[in-house]
Amino acid sequence: MKITNQERDTILAALRFYQSKGMGDPFNRPDDIHDIATNGGDGISLDDAGIDALCERLNVEQEGPDPIGALIEEFGGDRGVWGEHPGYPRADWRYQVENGDTNLGYWEWVENELAIERSAPVAEGGEA
């Protein structure tokens, strides 16, 4: 699963807040939070060391280019996130949303369409 830098940063902040309140210890957390941390009691929650390791993984594994951010920077122009990729009109995305063909946000949809395009086999003559 790819997440944006903003999503990663929010998750890291929430994990560090959770940790700062001592909730790495199951006896220090409210029942509703414990249920989330253990998937309703089906799993074992992370302790402080596990949270540290997870935060490190989130930092390390997310390093590198943010494809959504790069698209917005390249094609968003003055409108930023409200901009539009020239090859993928928002009208096409809205059509797919309305038909239930996608639940992705616009820029995630563009990235997905570009990934599909990149993975399409190239026919003889150089066209996909």
Residue 13 sits in the same domain as residue 31: yes
Inside any domain, residue 92: yes
Q: Which residues of the chain have pLDDT under 70?
A: 1, 61-65, 122-128
What gap in Å lies between CA 59 and CA 121, rounded to an integer?
Answer: 34
pLDDT of residue 2: 72
Helices (H), the chain: 5-20, 31-37, 48-61, 67-75, 90-98, 106-119
What gap in Å lies between CA 104 and CA 116, rounded to an integer?
Answer: 15
pLDDT of residue 125: 62
Residue 113 sits in the same domain as residue 95: yes
Q: Which residues contact 99 (CB under 8 A, 6 or more apart)?
A: none
pLDDT of residue 29: 92
**DSSP for 72-106?**
HHHH-GGGGGG--BTTB-HHHHHHHHHTTS--S-H
Model confidence pLDDT, tens digit, residues 95-118: 999 999 988 899 999 999 998 888
Residue 51 sits in the same domain as residue 79: no
Inside any domain, residue 127: no
pLDDT of residue 126: 58
Residue 14 sits in the same domain as residue 46: yes
Where is the domain boundary, 34, 61, 88?
61
Closest CA to 106 of 116, 115, 120, 96: 96
Residue 9 sits in the same domain as residue 56: yes
Q: What's the burial of 56, exposed, middle or buried (CB within 10 Å: 0-12/13-18/19+)?
A: exposed
Q: How far is CA 5 from CA 12, 26, 96, in A?
A: 10, 29, 26
Where is the domain boundary, 28, 46, 61?
61
The domain tally of the chain equals 2
Whole-model pTM: value is 0.47
Residue 52 sits in the same domain as residue 74: no
Residue 16 sits in the same domain as residue 55: yes
Q: Which residues pair with 88 in a beta bridge?
A: 85
